[in-house]
Amino acid sequence: MEEILSKIPSYSQELGLDLRLKEDRFKWFLASILFARRISANIAKRTFMKFIEANLTTPQKILEAGWNRLVEVLDSGGYVRYDFSTATNLLQIAEKLVKEYGGDIDKVHEKASDPRDLEKKLMEFKGVGPVAVNIFLRELRGIWSKADPEPSPKALEVARRIGLTEVKKYESKLVRIYLEYCKKKKCQICPLREYCREPELK
């Protein structure tokens, strides 16, 4: 089971990001914000790649782009449902990051006293709630010492179904299983189907 889980890419890996690199950690923060809204993962991934293509991958570049340009990029990726509010939030996030942390997302981690304080500081950014924080931090475990969020209910549910105790280690992969197979009731093609105690659970 763990061998199968280890082969499932996390979303950051699928996006071509290496979270050991500082520049990719801000990109992942941006992606996490996009993933957190009630929108499909495919649209969030496509929209993130539009930000990469437009070279809007730092707080400074986001500020320079301005609201209209951000809306254009969001719309080009299909992020039309939340384009206006997300553009507004991204500008405020970038501004706060530059003013209070010198434009360096790592400084948020450095200034946090412990894992819960880190989550609190991240949620002080406009439009960044518990879902975005969990998405962002669960893939930074082992990279940022204070990145240790409580596992998401989605990961806990899949772990319960397959009898897995090491939830945090595989959280990102468990969430993918939930979203791509459990939620869509695609049990027959799930890579963990032989371990599941509750296939085709309604």
Mean pLDDT for the chain overall: 95
CA distance 101 to 105: 7
Please determine, for residue 28, whether its predicted confidence score (pLDDT) is greater than 80: yes
pLDDT of residue 202: 47
CA atoms within 13 A on the CB side of 40: 8
- The model's pLDDT over 49-82, given as tens digits with 9 standing for 90+, comes to 999 999 999 999 999 999 999 999 999 999 998 9
- The model's pLDDT over 126-183, given as tens digits with 9 standing for 90+, comes to 999 999 999 999 999 999 999 999 999 999 999 999 999 999 999 999 999 999 999 9
Helices (H), the chain: 2-7, 11-14, 22-36, 41-53, 59-76, 83-101, 105-111, 115-122, 130-138, 153-162, 171-177
pLDDT of residue 198: 84
Q: For the whole model, what pTM was predicted?
A: 0.93
- The model's pLDDT over 78-110, given as tens digits with 9 standing for 90+, comes to 999 899 999 999 999 999 999 999 999 999 999
pLDDT of residue 104: 97
- First-to-last CA distance in the chain? 23
Tokens for 12? 């950051």
pLDDT of residue 201: 53
Please determine, for residue 199, whether its predicted confidence score (pLDDT) is greater than 80: no
